[in-house]
Amino acid sequence: MIRTLDDLDCEGVAVGVRIDINSPLSETGLADDARLRAHVETLSELLERGARVAILAHQGRPGDDDFSTLAAHADRLDELLSFPVDYCDATFSAAARERVAGLDGGEAVLLENTRFYAEEYMEFDPERAADTHLVEGLVPALDVYVNDAFAAAHRSQPSLVGFPQRLPGYAGRVMERELDVLATIEETPQPRVYLLGGAKVGDSIGVARSVLERGLADTVLTAGLVGNVCLLASGAELGTASAEFVYDQGYWDEIDRAGELLDAHDELRVPVDVAIERDGERHEIPVAELPQETETPAMDVGSETVAAYSEVLADAGTVILNGPAGVFEEETFAHGTRELYSTASEADHSIVGGGDTAAAIRRLGIDGFSHVSTGGGASLALLAGDSLPAVEALDE
């Protein structure tokens, strides 16, 4: 059983809250604050109920351009919440403990990027994670631990799995809602249609296999780079440019896995036409007529595919979307994503997973979905039937 904020007495209690505010950055700070907004409900509820809140979070990966301090994140949280949020440039040292000890009820401090410490970028089993400097250093300042970081719940890192070994653990509101929706897909209305696109080919084919083998999917529609790989697996001539793109990424195993799935499951569908760039313009070609030599790869599904897939989506009881249908960042190739997502948003039950997928619906201005997940890798793991280490660590 996982405890939630409903089970927590907050008044005067020092609560360590792990959130996921890992965000795209610009030169001046945050380029997008969607992930910060997602946690406002949990943080506000704790603060309103009188908790003293120490916030833990990561930003980027060591060595990457977006690996940064959390100062800008603290400023933005302070603006978003009607409670004060301070920033502390320490995470588990005496300085961090003192800042937490000095909080009054209704006050919060955002501690420094957990990944500034080497142990946090390693994966451990929970018991070993609880012995890390980060957890041992901060535990004396805390009474309880709340995990609201669904988007990082597939990582077995100390701030995610170690604390609930030492402190009573609770799920925050984001975590609770994500699990309510994504861990109970098998109870949603049928027919259940999965639209898998985007560029995480291995993950998406893993999801396709899992939902087909478990009988969860009535139809799996493929698009984006995932669709291109499935087309190659089906024996289609996709043109040299698309094939080279796929082979350059080393997707040999994925082509084999997709081929096995296509042989075993008629419910797995591939695009019938694609869009490429020719003379700077969008050009649609039926897959059967694709010239062997192409200069540009397939960047979107074509209108025939949109029409065929839309019929399936329009009849669905539940639609689960992961990954855009094309390179939606370029207007020329946003057509498939815009049309298919708009139709999907009209289903009785529609679930969106994936960071870029969520960005695509915001950019294209499509709303009306039943649930938009905050997580990419975490939602894919759940959809594929895997358990999440950080969720298991909260389970009593």
Ligand X SMILES: Nc1ncnc2c1ncn2[C@@H]1O[C@H](COP(=O)(O)OP(=O)(O)O)[C@@H](O)[C@H]1O
Q: Does 297 bind ligand X15 (CB under 6 A)?
A: no
Pure H helices in 315-354: 335-345
Q: Position 204: which residue type?
A: S
Beta bridge partners of 269: 221
Q: Does 73 bind ligand X15 (CB under 6 A)?
A: no
Stretch (H or E) spanning 169: strand 169-171
- Non-local (6+) Cβ contacts of 31 within 8 A are 23, 24, 25
Q: Point out which span in 167-175, 207-215, 221-229, 365-373 binds ligand X (CB under 6 A).
A: 221-229
Among 152, 298, 325, 366, binds ligand X15 (CB under 6 A): 152
Stretch (H or E) spanning 229: helix 224-233
Q: Point out which span in 31-39, 178-186, 220-228, 281-289 binds ligand X (CB under 6 A).
A: 220-228
Q: Does 151 bind ligand X15 (CB under 6 A)?
A: yes
Q: Does 61 bind ligand X15 (CB under 6 A)?
A: yes
Identify whether the C-beta of residue 337 lies closer than 8 Å to the C-beta of residue 197: yes
CB of residue 137 to ligand X, shortest distance in Å:
33
> Residue 322 burial by CB count (10 A; 0-12/13-18/19+): exposed, middle or buried?
buried
What gap in Å lies between CA 354 and CA 199, rounded to an integer? 11
- Non-local (6+) Cβ contacts of 268 within 8 A are 208, 212, 220, 222, 230, 261, 262
Which among ligand X15, ligand X, none contacts residue 120 (Cβ within 5 to 8 A by kind)?
none
Q: Position 277: which residue type?
A: E
Phi, psi of 79 (to 5 degrees): -70, -40
Q: Which of residues 350-369 bind ligand X (CB under 6 A)?
A: 354-357
Q: Does 232 bind ligand X (CB under 6 A)?
A: no
Question: Among 239, 244, 169, 207, which residue's Cα sits nearest to residue 322?
Answer: 207
Q: Which of residues 296-335 bind ligand X (CB under 6 A)?
A: 298-299, 322-324, 326-327, 329
C-beta closer to ligand X15: residue 61 or 362: 61
CB of residue 326 to ligand X, shortest distance in Å:
5
Among 376, 381, 388, 391, binds ligand X15 (CB under 6 A): 376
Q: Does 198 bind ligand X (CB under 6 A)?
A: yes
3-state secondary structure 302-323: CHHHHHHHHHHHHCCCEEEEEC
Task: Return the structure tokens found at 197.
Answer: 């696109």
Which among ligand X, ligand X15, none contacts residue 326 (Cβ within 5 to 8 A by kind)?
ligand X
Among 16, 323, 336, 355, binds ligand X15 (CB under 6 A): 355
CB of residue 289 to ligand X15, shortest distance in Å:
37
C-alpha count within 13 angstroms, C-beta hemisphere, residue 86: 16
CB of residue 375 to ligand X15, shortest distance in Å:
5
Q: Does 199 bind ligand X (CB under 6 A)?
A: yes
- Non-local (6+) Cβ contacts of 36 within 8 A are 21, 23, 30, 73, 76, 77, 80
Q: Does 362 bind ligand X15 (CB under 6 A)?
A: no
Which among ligand X, ligand X15, none contacts residue 119 (Cβ within 5 to 8 A by kind)?
none
Stretch (H or E) spanning 264: helix 252-264
Q: Does 33 bind ligand X15 (CB under 6 A)?
A: no
3-state class of 286 per DSSP?
Answer: strand
Q: How many residues bind ligand X15 (CB under 6 A)?
A: 10
What gap in Å lies between CA 204 and CA 104, rounded to an integer? 46
Among 8, 18, 20, 238, binds ligand X15 (CB under 6 A): 20
Which among ligand X, ligand X15, none contacts residue 329 (Cβ within 5 to 8 A by kind)?
ligand X
Q: Does 375 bind ligand X15 (CB under 6 A)?
A: yes
CB of residue 377 to ligand X, shortest distance in Å:
8
Q: Point out which span in 4-12, 68-76, 172-180, 375-383 binds ligand X15 (CB under 6 A).
A: 375-383
CB of residue 233 to ligand X, shortest distance in Å:
15
Q: Position 4: which residue type?
A: T
Note the residues at the interface with ligand X15 (CB under 6 A): 20, 22, 61, 151-152, 155, 355, 375-377
Note the residues at the interface with ligand X (CB under 6 A): 197-200, 224-225, 228, 298-299, 322-324, 326-327, 329, 354-357, 376
